């Protein structure tokens, strides 16, 4: 997620820098100390502006699967940005709110916040510009809005637009050398191909996402890649392969100790798949 500003100071306190604080919070969360991790964002040692504290907290909560809780700090950042007319910060807050609402299933609200993010950010008056005009105005930080718009297009089943936006975003991320962002775009392209019934291409794209997430050791994202691969394998009748992907996904989720439901949902799906396999392998002549 974008971070338009960062706090800097010569003080030796370990929590003055937001990146350091967020890293420590993730370490505590990985040890199962989620309450302590969350409390770090309210530590007195952090002397940055309150909006920066709230932005960091919101991003941390999103990464931990606490999507509903992330809305409040992002909303506080948006209020501050409105009051101070900080357009770049307003764009970031809206983009993160779009992510949160999209994950919670409020697709129309997510699309609205994504458009706000574009209007105040890199793509400006996207409501009445052609796609070519929007691309002309792209800056180095625009790919996140492209990906958000693509996700909304997928929800609206406008697959052609979604693929176009994702390919543009991927090109930008390759230039920037951001492996995690590239992986996210490859993963979304894989999901998109799967929705259109192009299963072989979906597997190729999702595997590319998986390989990139391996490079960055992003265990949560690795788990999601494997869950999506399992879906495609199941659709093509390769149930054993799908089950192996789900088992590996569960292992990935357990390593990152995410507070969300991803691991639990993968376990449920693996159990259902194992029942399907048992039925498939059952020989009625043995009874």
Q: What is the pLDDT of residues 145-156, one digit of tens each?
A: 778 888 888 888
- 21-25, 231-235, 277-281: least confident range: 277-281
Show the domains of the chain with their CATH numbers.
16-119 (1.25.40.10)
With 50 as the cut, is the pLDDT of residue 97 above it? Answer: yes
Lowest mean pLDDT among 53-57, 217-221, 267-271, 278-282: 278-282
Report residue 282 as tokens.
Answer: 């059952």
> pLDDT tens digits for 174-184?
767 888 889 99
Compute how many other C-beta atoms are within 10 angstroms of the C-beta atom of residue 13: 14
Q: What share of the chain is helix, strand, coil (3-state, %, to 5)?
A: 75, 0, 25
Mean pLDDT, range 21-36, rounded to an integer: 86
Q: Exposed, middle or buried: residue 184 (CB in 10 Å: 0-12, 13-18, 19+)?
A: buried
For residue 111, the model assigns a pLDDT of: 80
Rounded-to-integer distance, Cα 151 and Cα 265, Å = 22
CA torsion, points 64, 69, 74, 80, in degrees to nearest 10? -140
Torsion over CA: 161, 167, 173, 178 (sign): positive
Give yes or no for residue 197 having a pLDDT over 90.
yes
The Cα 142–Cα 145 span in angstroms is 6
Per the rule left: phi > 0, alpha: psi between -120 and 50, beta: everything else, 32 is left
Residue 244 is predicted with a pLDDT of: 94
Task: Give residue for tokens 């951001």.
Answer: 178
Q: Give how far the C-alpha of residue 136 lies from the chain's centroid of Cα atoms, to the nearest Å.
A: 26
- Asked whether the whole model's pTM tops 0.85, one would answer no
């Amino acid at each position: 997620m974008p971070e338009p500003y960062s706090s800097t100071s010569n003080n030796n306190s370990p929590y003055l820098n937001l990146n350091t604080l967020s890293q420590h919070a993730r370490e505590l969360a990985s040890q199962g100390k989620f309450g302590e991790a969350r409390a770090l964002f309210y530590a007195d040692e952090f002397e940055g502006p309150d909006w920066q504290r709230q932005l960091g907290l919101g991003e941390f909560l999103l990464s931990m699967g606490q999507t509903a809780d992330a809305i409040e700090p992002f909303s506080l950042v948006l209020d501050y940005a409105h009051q101070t007319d900080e357009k770049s910060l307003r764009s970031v807050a809206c983009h993160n709110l779009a992510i949160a609402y999209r994950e919670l299933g409020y697709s129309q609200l997510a699309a609205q916040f994504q458009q706000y993010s574009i209007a105040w950010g890199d793509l400006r008056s996207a409501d009445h510009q052609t796609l070519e005009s929007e691309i002309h105005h792209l800056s180095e930080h625009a790919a996140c809005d492209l990906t958000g718009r693509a996700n909304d297009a997928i929800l609206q089943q406008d697959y052609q637009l979604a693929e176009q936006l994702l390919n543009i975003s991927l090109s930008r991320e390759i230039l920037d050398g951001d492996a995690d962002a590239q992986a996210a775009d490859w993963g979304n392209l894989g999901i998109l191909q799967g929705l259109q019934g192009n299963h072989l291409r979906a597997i190729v794209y999702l595997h590319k996402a998986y390989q990139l997430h391996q490079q960055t050791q992003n265990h949560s994202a690795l788990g999601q890649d494997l869950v999506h691969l399992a879906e495609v394998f199941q659709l093509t009748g390769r149930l054993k392969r799908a089950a192996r992907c789900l088992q590996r996904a569960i292992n990935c989720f357990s390593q990152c100790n995410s507070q969300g439901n991803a691991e639990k949902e993968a376990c449920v799906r693996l159990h259902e798949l194992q029942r399907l396999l048992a039925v498939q392998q059952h020989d009625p002549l043995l009874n």
